[in-house]
Every structure is written in C-alpha cells, then in structure tokens.
Amino acid sequence: MSRASHINEDGTLVMVDVGAKPATQRSARARAEVRFGAKAAAAVRDLTLTKGDALVAAQLAGIMAAKQTAGLIPLAHPIPLSSVDVTFSWEGDRLLIDADARTVAQTGVEMEAMTAAAIAALVVYDMTKALDKGIVVENLRLLRKTGGKSGDWQPS
C-alpha cells in the first residue's frame, strides 16, 4: 500500500524534498461553485450589491490568495507563479469560479489553483451573505493539471 507523500515511514509529517527534480512547465485549473437563491444571483449579475462588484473583488482576492498558498498550506512549497487567472461563468443561479495557475518550477501548482478558487468563492459569499443566508460554497475540485513527473491529469 502506498502512503501519502507528506508522511514519513514513522508517521511524522514531512515537506517533500523537490530539490533534485528538474524545473518544468506546470499548470492547474481548479473550480469552486457558489449556489445562490435567485435574489442574490441577480444582485451579483446586475452589479446591485451595496458592497460593490463581487466578481472584481473575488478575482483579485483569488489571485492574491494563490500567491500566499505556501503561507496557508503548511507543507506546500513556495513557488514562482508565472500567471494566475480567475474567471466566472453562470449555470442558472450557480456561479462557477475557475482558477488557472502556471509556473516553471520543481513542483506543481494544484494547491495554488485550488486556493485561488476557494478564496474567490468565499469573497463572493461574504459580499452576498446579507441577501441570502442559504448561499452554499461547494464542489471545490481540481479540473486538470499538466506537467511534472506524473504527467497530465484530468478527471475521467
């Protein structure tokens, strides 16, 4: 049975040593979803929130969060990000938040993409919670990753 990469044989936590790995191009896309009632969804779409444009705030927060991933996730490596993009689309009253991260490094950017999507979703929640107490942030997940020793991945 294989064990998680951040656990030693004795069960202690360890930051994975990536020092001998070559720096390669890597990318990842993650998604989070925010499910609204119709009133809150309309307010976000129509820019009628009293706090301002929730999507602009969420986009900036997601980008900033990706850059702070190593400070938030205890065993994540600080990596040089070459780009982070946070975009939005709608499926009915459900907001889809996609975060893309890229780097040339010795380890991947999955955690940076996931952090960006999660924080962007939380900012949208924060800016709309006064309109609807039933807003749900859900389905945070990795959509794809490229590069590195394990190669490309996307869900089947």
Q: List residues with catalytic annotation.
A: 126
Residue type, 54: A
Got the DSSP string for 115-152?
A: HHHHHHHHHHHHHHTTT-TT-EEEEEEEEEEE-STT--
* Residue 94 exposed, middle or buried by CB count within 10 Å (0-12, 13-18, 19+): middle
**Nearest residue to 32 (alpha-carbon basis) of 86, 102, 93, 92:** 86
